[in-house]
Amino acid sequence: MATEAHAAEGATGYIVHHLTPLSVGEGFWTLHLDTLFFSAVLGGLFIWFFKMAAERATSDVPGLVQNFAEMMIEFVDSQVKDSFHGKSELIAPLALTIFCWVFLFNFMDLFPVDLLPMIGSMMGIEYLRVVPSTDLNATFAMSISVFFLIIFYSIKVKGPWGFAKELMFQPFGPWLLPFNLLLKLVEELAKPISLALRLFGNLYAGELIFILIALLPWAIQPALSFPWAIFHILIITLQAFIFMVLTIVYLSMAHEDH
């Protein structure tokens, strides 16, 4: 398939081709069209499904769609209730959005690596990277948004001075102020970075392994890609779950006054 098309560049060319996004623009103002497109489509899918469930929601016997939506809602709600003890209109819907969106991102990984790029190339699209969570921009967009929310709620709940005090005087008391500040800044900054890089790393590695498997002779491929795909079902769910739970935990930490 695509391997032959890029035979001249060899295996490296094939891999690089698969990991190159479809982009327009220069420098910082580059846009990864594939990431934007697929994440918007997947977001639309999520919204469409849940909006349909929400419109049909009754307290009577639920249908299939509503049942599934309610299962998700209860799952997310129980996670939120476990770690977050305040009251917030935002946090549960946020967690639901993150879980579903990230899950759908990751799910794109289960499509055969060459399928969508091949369809793309038929339509004249040269590069296509279908898994948005293998794009650092996608993962960082979420984690930075979460980071802003952490800052926002920290200031809102504790007050600007309370938040500043927490940054300066904890955990070692006022006499070690610079050290505290450094430690706290690292702690806060580590949150979005670890969130984004964990998801990105896992999915990037997973996708890379699918690509590597695709380089092998066709007879061996199923023996490897099938177990890896099964294993990946676990990975993609787990990564979506981790992203959601950590978001809840971080936000509940932001709500807590020490």
Task: Based on the residue annotation, tell me whether 252 is a catalytic residue of this protein.
Answer: no
Task: Based on the residue annotation, tell me whether 198 is a catalytic residue of this protein.
Answer: yes
Strand partners, 23: 32
Q: Which of 14, 17, 18, 73 binds another protein (CB under 8 A)?
A: 73
For the CB of residue 112, give the shortest distance to another protein in the complex, in Å. 23
Please name the amino acid found at residue 61: V
Quote the Cα angle for 251-100-34, to 5°: 110
Binding of another protein by 154 (CB under 8 A) = no
Region from 9-17, 73-81, 161-169, 173-181 binding another protein, contact rule CB under 8 A: 73-81
For the CB of residue 148, give the shortest distance to another protein in the complex, in Å. 9
Contact criterion met (CB below 8 Å) for 16 and 212: no
Task: Based on the residue annotation, tell me whether 143 is a catalytic residue of this protein.
Answer: no
Integer CA distances (angstroms), 77 to 24, 89, 98, 157, 191, in order: 40, 12, 13, 22, 22
For the CB of residue 99, give the shortest distance to another protein in the complex, in Å. 11
Cβ neighbours, 10 Å, residue 89: 7
Which of 133, 180, 202, 225 is an active site residue?
202
Those residues whose C-beta lies under 8 Å from the C-beta of residue 171, and which sit 6 or more positions away, are: 180, 183
Binding of another protein by 190 (CB under 8 A) = no
Q: What tokens were used for 251? A: 């936000």
Helices (H) and strands (E) in the chain, counts: 9, 2
| Contacting positions for another protein (CB under 8 A) | 23, 25, 27-32, 35-36, 39-40, 43, 46-47, 50-51, 53-55, 57-60, 62, 66, 69-70, 73-74, 77, 89-90, 92-94, 96-97, 101, 132, 135-138, 140-142, 144-145
